[in-house]
Amino acid sequence: MPVLERDGEPIWRRRTGTAALGRWLAWLTVVLTLVVAWRYVSQQTIWEFVWDGPRQAADLVTRMLPPEWSYMDHLWRPLWDTVNIATLGTLLALLLATPVAFLAARNTTPTWLMRPPALLVIVGSRSINSIIWALLLVAIFGPGLFAGILAIAFRSIGFIAKLLYEAIEEIDTDPVEAITATGAARSQVMLWGIVPQIMSAFAGIAVFRWDINIREATVLGLVGAGGIGLQLDASVASLQWARVALILLSIIALVLLSEIVSARLRAASN
């Protein structure tokens, strides 16, 4: 703790002069950035619409209530599709991410040359949101479930591979050495030394990502990639707010259900 000498008396201070100045400058930068950013947002906003917001909100609520329960008959299929997009997308991603993870992990990569491309796949997949993947894949393959499944899979590869290769790098080396010492081939070392150690991490990651993917799958339809989002988009576009309310309720129910299922799965795998 720095001490300032004044009139022969030591004065205790929390920070040195330069540290205090540095902190002050850092805060100044943050505040200035916020002010500039807010000015920009404010300029782009038509404030008359905003002041009208509360009235619009009240109006919206009266239009949403009561939800159009009879529309539920048309929602079962999209909900089923949504779950399928998430599940099949996650499975496909697991299939594709596992080799990438083994190539990216320092202790399992066959040559160091394979690491940079594997890491590039991980970064590229992670930086692009699943909605953007969906936009791209819908443009390529046309609207539908297939584009949605691929979008979920492509976004999940990076996520799963990153967590999995970190798990692989953290394994205990003793069992691997023991199996190598018995004269096992590379594939046998992999199968008996490494795979058993990462199985629980693998299961955890899969369930975690599936839970996230359910949420993501509910909106893919907004860009045409299938699932309940299609109905949501259509109902919003045609101002059928009573239907929108029902769709939102069914999405909450689906998300809560997926959370319960994933909690069960996690408990079962531990």
Partner 1 sequence: MAALCYLLLACLTIDVDWTRAAQGLERGARFLAGFSRPDFLTRWSDISQGLLESLAMTAVATCIGVLISLPVAVGAARNVAPLPIYFSCRFVIVLSRSFHELIVAILFVVLVGFGPLAGVLTLSFASIGFIAKLLAEEIESIDRDQVEAIRSSGASWPQRMIFGVLPQVTPRLTGLTVYRLDINFRESAIIGVVGAGGIGATINTAFDRYEYDTAAAILLLIIAIVLAGEYGSGWLRQRLI
Q: What residue ranges bind partner 1 (CB under 8 A)?
A: 33-34, 36-38, 40-42, 44-46, 49-50, 53, 56-57, 60, 80-81, 83-84, 87-88, 91, 123-124, 127-129, 131-132, 135-136, 138-142, 144-146, 149, 215-216, 218-219, 222-223, 229, 232, 236, 248, 251-252, 255-256
Rounded-to-10 torsion of CA 83, 89, 92, 98: -110
> Whose Cβ is closer to partner 1: residue 93's or residue 135's?
135
- The torsion angles phi and psi of 4, rounded to 5 degrees, stand at -105, 130
C-beta of 52: minimal distance to partner 1 in Å? Answer: 8
> Whose Cβ is closer to partner 1: residue 100's or residue 138's?
138
Nearest to 210 by CA among 159, 137, 250, 252: 159
Complete DSSP assignment for 15-69 = S-HHHHHHHHHHHHHHHHHHHHHHHHHHHT--HHHHHTHHHHHHHHHHHHSSP-G
C-beta of 181: minimal distance to partner 1 in Å? Answer: 37
Q: What is the largest CA-CA distance in the chain?
A: 85
> Whose Cβ is closer to partner 1: residue 34's or residue 178's?
34
> Whose Cβ is closer to partner 1: residue 52's or residue 169's?
52
C-beta of 67: minimal distance to partner 1 in Å? Answer: 15
Residue 239 identity? L
Q: CA neighbours within 13 Å on the CB side: how many for 255?
A: 14
C-beta of 139: minimal distance to partner 1 in Å? Answer: 5
C-beta of 93: minimal distance to partner 1 in Å? Answer: 15
> Whose Cβ is closer to partner 1: residue 93's or residue 189's?
93
Q: Which two tokens stand for residue 23?
A: 């902190």
Query: In this structure, what DSSP letter does residue 171 have?
Result: S
> Whose Cβ is closer to partner 1: residue 134's or residue 176's?
134
Helix (H) or strand (E) run with residue 239 in it:
none
